[in-house]
Structure formats: structure tokens, C-alpha cells
Amino acid sequence: MDRTIFLVISGLFLITACGENGRDGVNPLLAVQYDVSLKGPDGDTALVGESIGLILETPESDISQISWQQTSGPSVTFTGANRKVIGFDVPAIGTYGFSVNFKDSTGGVRSVNYSFTAMNDSTVYLNARLDHEANSEAKITLYAYDNFPGKLTSVSWAQITGPTATIPDNNKRIIHFIAPFVTEDTLLQFRVEASDDLGNSANDIVNILLEPEPVAPESFFESGRFANISLADTYPYNTDSAYADSLQECIYSNTTTTDCNLDKLPFIGTQNATPSVNDIMDRVLVSHDWMGGRFKYFLEQIDVNNDIKNLFGATRSIVISYDIKPSFFWVRTGAIYINAKYFWVTPQERDTLNTTPDFRINFGTDLKFQDPWRIVKDNNYAYTTPSIVSRATRTTQESRFYTLRVLYHELAHANDFFPPRVWNSTTPSDFPWSYSFSNQPDSEKLAAVYALNSQEMHQLGGVMFRGDTATGAQKNYTPPQVSDFFFPFSATSSYNYSNIAEDYAMLAEEYLMGYRHGIQYDQGITGLAPDYIISTAERGRVGHDRIKPRAEFVISRILPSIDVQAASATLATPMLLDAGISWWDSLVPSSQKRSGVVNKVNRSEHPILFGKDLHQAEELKIKKIPQL
């Protein structure tokens, strides 16, 4: 990032290869002309505290086995060592050395060295992050972080090189856009300028190296909200997995057009009804190595009850990628796709994530009420999300409830369609989608036996979660009216009314979070911003006698080893929260508040979340049978 130069290294490189006669041989092309470009800080110098990028440019896009290493200087932290671009912050004065090795298209191994010097001549007021590599037509997020002594008053982004990218709003700290189409490796540069109320100003430059990426028109993902967008490159976390090739072919690719049957990629539970960590990790695709490492640690150290591992039996693969948002399960592939935001620990890992707003962000904006929710433990938030600008770290232990809830939810979707009782009844020639067409998901049985009866909420669910246009009557519903539509009935949250599959998954999520971890969910119906005055709000609805049988129906099917009668007895009694006050001020009910205690919430760490911020079950029912 920031100031860059173009360093051309031309020369002769020795290429070696293995012979076919049982001994090492030498490629007939003993030496070839090969121009390599590196971009680093301008003048080979950087400032302490500056965020910079190192970019490898070669005369061909098709290189492999990229490996960056730091060879000298104060230690830096960077991710994506297997990509053409690395970005990092300069921690201290010194001379920094790096080497990058890669294989060219002929299999020749090449290596380039680079160094720069860091000085402490002036204060860095502005950093743009993160220099990185991306696919043509991929989703891009760029951040501006300021360190001004005064209050930030202006931010402005502008593109300075490369084919034009359309930036919808260039006056924000964070910008999102779709990368332009390219046919060869192409560098895009963006400058951000900012100032504060004390007259200070600064600017910085960030680099994006775009790679050409073929997208098949008939690709599984070339439709709906994925249309005209390139997926991130992912790869098997365990490269020696027996399923490595099948994962890349069948699960998450811009060119995947053919469904894979269960013979080629079976459900994890078909091979082991109580999957081990290794069983699961052999099915993981990631966009960055750190994601797989953090996920594995979660399975080993956080999932002590083995619920999550057992629920993974209903999946064929797990994809964790920087571009997935929101998380979802897809019955066509039998895979779960997880937003990597649940696993980051360091700010450097967080920098790699794309934060393009959820496609549902504008659903229901014509309505006169909101449906905030949160998860709590002992009258406090169950987890904290540090603000992006804080550059804070967090531990996996600190974010465990944040992660557990999404895994319980998405894996409930998987087990809705492929519950444990059927894992050994499928045939190798089945496809996940063909099995689902022939066998009713358990959520349909739930809807038949324990129906949600609020017609008004069903209709509002279409507006709030599926993007339906609000009617005149719906636009005029008041918070008290919506409270009457919702609270007397048997949904745990407003999101249960998205569809019957979400009703099923929300019941599983809230029940298991309560039973296993003592977590309760708050659901409110309030007025609009900025105060969100509560009409009605309740804590722990899954503990209602009218709701527990619905949840027990779900749990007995997805985790049959749990004694649901005993588990239900442990759930906390539901509690109404104080009405007539701001949602911000309702965390501790007045009945449990000590005299003089005031609810104080750090709003940047605990933003208000609404029903549409929960989850997404992506196209759980395929509209047509795939052509094979």
C-alpha cells in the first residue's frame, strides 16, 4: 500500500524437473528469459506504522505453489502467503527482507528477493487496507483507518490506475464494489484522502491485483445474488485429503456445472456417524489458511459436547471463505458455506474479509417497526464484536457463542434435509438434490404438526426476509399491533417467519444455545431509529411451554442422543423486558437491576441487530431439476 515502485528483475533462471527414469533430471529449457515485477514501497522505504503491500507480477497468470517468506528484519504478520500479494503493517525501524518462490507454467521453480527500509520520520495518520489479490469480477472491500489527532471530517476515494471500477459511495471509511473484468493480471490502484477538524490531512494508496477468472454461464452459482460475480479462489485445507479433487470440482467453483453424486463425495456421516475432527477437516475448503486453522481449533477446543462435529455428518463439505456473506447451507451441493468473520482472531486476519453488506439490508424499510434481537448470558451480552477501527484482537473463547449459534443454525438446515437416520439409507448414485426431491424434509413435518398460526407475521416475513413489497396496511402497522401478531404465538423469533426451514433452524439454535451454554435470546418489537422504543420484548422464548414441544421435535431428529425431556427442564423461564424504554437500555430488566445501576452499552461493540441480520438458507429447494 501507499507509495509504490515498479522493480523489474530480468535474467536467467535455472529450471529443474524430475525425470521419468527414476532419477532427477533437468528440463531441456535450462535457462529462459523471464521478467518478474515486484511492487513495494516507493523508494524502497516505508514509515513505521504504515500499511504496505508487496506484489508479485509475472508475465503469465498461471503460476502455482506461491510461497512468501520474511528473510530479515523485525517480524511482520501477514496472511495469504500462498498468493501473489501480501499486505502488512510495518512495526519498527529496520531493513526488511522477503523472498517469494513459485512455479511457472512449465513447472520451473523461481525465486525473487526484495528488501526495503523502514524509518520513523513522521506520524502515519491514514492507512488504506488491504493490498491483496482478487479474481476478475469479484467482490472487493477496502478500508480507511485514521489516526488523526482531531475528529475525522472527510474521506474521499478515487481510482488512479486500471480499468474503471464503479464505486457506489466514495465518501465512506469502507467502500465496496465489484472488480472490473480483466483478461490478464491487472493492477488496480486506489487513493484515499482524509482530513480532521484540526486541519490535518493525509492520503494513502492501496493496490488490488486482479487475476482473470473464467466464469461458466451455466455454473451453479451464476444466478440470483451470485449472478455476474466471481467466487473467491478456494482450496482444500488438507491437501492430502482423499476428497481434495472432488471438493474443488463439486462444491465451490466458478466453473462447476456438473453435480457430483454421493459415490464421488458422500455425506460425512455415511462414513462415520460420529465424525472426528480429521473426518471434518478432510472436507474443508478455504480461501486462506488461517480460516482452516481457526476452524480446526474451534472443533477441538470449543465443541466439547461434540454437537457440532456430530451435526456435520449431514454435510459433504464445509466452505470457509472471505467472500461468503451470509452463511448458508445448500441442498444442491450438500455443503455448508460459512462466513469467515466467525473465526478471525487477529486484525490481520480480519483485514482479509469482504464486508459487502448483506443483500437483504434494504428489505422492510417501508415498515414502521423494527424487530431487534440479541443473545445474552447472566444479564450481559454473550459476546462482543470489536469495532473494525479498533484493530483489536479477540480469542476463539471470547467469540465462541457468536460462532456456535451460526453453526447450530446452518447445521440444523443440513440435518433437516439429511437427518442422521437416513445417512446410511442413501445410495451411491443419489445426489443431495435428488434425495431431497424424493424425501420430505423434517421442517415440513414440523409445520404440519406444530404450525405457526400468525398469518400477519407470515406475510410480514415475506417483506422483512424475502424482499416482498409491503402493502399499504403493512406499511401502517404500529409496534403494538405487530407485538400482538407475534408474542402470543409459538415462534421463538421474528425470523422463524422467513420460511418453514428457518423456523426449524431457529428452534434448534435457540434450544441448543440455552441447553448447552445457558444462553438466552431477546426478541423485541420496537419503534424506529434512533431510540428503538420497546413496545414488547421478551427473553428466552424457547422456554415457553407452548414452544418447547416444537423445539423438542427438532432436537430429537437432528441430535437423537439428547434426552429432550431432561434438556428442556434446564431451560430458563421466559421473562418480559421493560417496555417504553430504548432497546439500548433494556439489557438488565428493572426487576433484576440493583438500585442505582444504569444499563450502559458500548454501541460500537454491540450494534442493534434485526431479524434479517440472522441467517440465510440459500435456495433450500431447487426450482428445477439440474440437467445431468
- CB 19: neighbour CB atoms within 10 A? 11
Q: For the chain, how far is it from start to end, CA to CA, in angstroms? A: 46
In the chain the domains, ranked by start, together with CATH numbers, are 1-123 (2.60.40.1080), 125-213 (2.60.40.10), 224-351 (no CATH), 372-417+438-613 (no CATH)
**Model confidence over 505-556: pLDDT tens digits?**
999 999 999 999 999 999 999 999 999 999 999 999 999 999 999 999 999 9
pLDDT at 434: 92
Question: Could you tell me the pTM of the whole model?
Answer: 0.91
pLDDT at 27: 38
Contact call for residues 514 and 548 (beta carbons, < 8 A): no
pLDDT at 595: 54
pLDDT at 617: 38
- CB 245: neighbour CB atoms within 10 A? 12
Q: State which H helix or E strand residue 140 sits in.
A: strand 139-146
**Model confidence over 172-196: pLDDT tens digits?**
999 999 999 999 999 999 999 999 9
Contact call for residues 252 and 421 (beta carbons, < 8 A): no
DSSP letter at 125? -
Q: How many residues are recorded in the chain?
A: 628
Contact call for residues 58 and 36 (beta carbons, < 8 A): yes
- The Cα–Cα gap between 43 and 49 comes to 17
226: which 3 cell numbers? Answer: 451470485
- β strands within 287-428, DSSP E: 317-321, 328-330, 335-339, 372-377, 380-381
Does residue 452 have a cis bond before it (omega within 30 degrees)?
Answer: no
Contact call for residues 100 and 68 (beta carbons, < 8 A): yes
DSSP letter at 518? -
Low-confidence ranges of the chain (pLDDT < 50): 1-31, 616-628
290: which 3 cell numbers? Answer: 488461517
pLDDT at 33: 65
CA angle 621, 286, 555 (to 5 degrees): 45
393: which 3 cell numbers? Answer: 484482537
